Amino acid sequence: MRAVTKERILIVDDTMDTVELLRKRFRAEGYDTDEAYDGEAALVKVAEYRPDLVILDVMMPKLDGISVCRQLRIDPATRHLPVLMLTAKSEVPDKVEGLDTGADDYITKPFDYKELSARVRSLLSKKIASAELAKKEKTQALDQMVDEVSHEVRNPLVSIGGFARRVIKHMAADDPNRPYMEIILKNVATLERMVNELIELKGASVAFHEPIDLHDLIRTTIDQFAEEIHARNVTVQLDLMENPPRIAADRQNFGRALFNLIENSLEAMTGPERKLTVATEVTSDDFFVIRISDSGCGIGQDKIKNIYDPFFTSKTYGPGLGLTFVFRTVQNHNGMITVASEEGQGTTFTIRLPIRAGQ
């Protein structure tokens, strides 16, 4: 067995024996698979299944593999999806056409499965490397934006806010200009909060890791919301494991990340049932897991993939950098964060942190 994380492979071939063979072999190696038997069905499956790689036969009914590959390369959502093409033909022009269309690799039937498997592993490795590079470039661009915004916005913002507060202090309660000054101050406060979040976000990269009891940090963070929890009539349930391992973490940054998650959970709960659950466990593969669940309004599936983006706005969360900070902090702790949500049912964030030897 090879993979702990199951990469998804879509097998597209009109020969059922070939599909069955590849499905059995790939699943035995630990991959997840799905299949299509013609070109039109392949395009539908790509949209529904969202594979990490497509194995695509050239000669198929309805729409051939060359046309399918061309469609995949036109669509921005699948432009970089790895495609390995199969064909019973061995002529050079067919291979050239497939590669010119955008296929990443090419293998001729009958093929040796070990060679096919090696090429699949290579393409998936390149995909992961490309994704990591894109993530790194995005992080660097965000850091540059933080520096520019902090420098160019913060100083004039302080002046605007300071003068506006000084002016309104001397205004009569019935001054017709007072409402306008209040709007200015409200917007200044919003911008000040965003600038502070930007500075905090950059600080997430500067961390001092030491073994800490995350249960103490969880309880301390929840205590900060004691008044709000009581006022909003929220039920808090702590399902914390006994004798938790001490995890190497930056207390300040990780505490801030927990604060942001709990704050978002409380804001999302506006209905009659308001329950916040925080649970922990250790998995068999030596990860410490924290789950933060709420009974709030949930997040639409069309928005959930963007919630960690800076200043992303949804019905659940307003614009800001809170979840971006959470994502960056978990990354800097060599961890992973996932989210599961259903509109009208609630949201669960799951953090997985490695348990290092010697802690």
- pTM tops 0.75, yes or no: no
**Tens digit of each residue's pLDDT (9 = 90 or more) over 200-238:** 766 666 668 899 999 999 999 999 999 999 999 999 999
pLDDT, residue 359, reads 42
For residue 222, give the nearest of 268, 188, 259, 193 by alpha carbon: 259
Tell me the pLDDT tens digit for each residue of 127-172.
777 666 666 666 667 667 667 766 677 788 888 989 999 999 999 9
Q: How many helices (H) and strands (E) does the chain have?
A: 10, 12
- Segment 85-108 mean pLDDT: 72
Q: How many CA atoms lie within 13 A of 263 on its CB side?
A: 15
In sequence order, what are the residues at sequence separation of 6 or more whose Cβ sits closer than 8 angstroms to the Cβ of residue 352? 283, 287, 288, 289, 335, 336, 337, 338
Characterize 306-341 residue by residue with b for buried, 16 or more Cβ atoms within 10 angstroms of its Cβ, and e for exposed: ebbebebebebbeebbbbbbbbbbbbbbebebebeb
For the stretch 239-259, pLDDT in tens is 999 999 999 999 999 999 999
Average pLDDT of the segment spanning 327-335: 89
Which segments of the chain does DSSP mark as H helices, in order? 16-28, 39-49, 65-74, 92-101, 113-169, 178-203, 214-223, 226-231, 251-268, 322-332
In contact, 214 and 249? CB cutoff 8 Å: yes
Distance CA 229, CA 218 (A): 15
Furthest-apart CA pair in the chain: how many Å?
A: 88
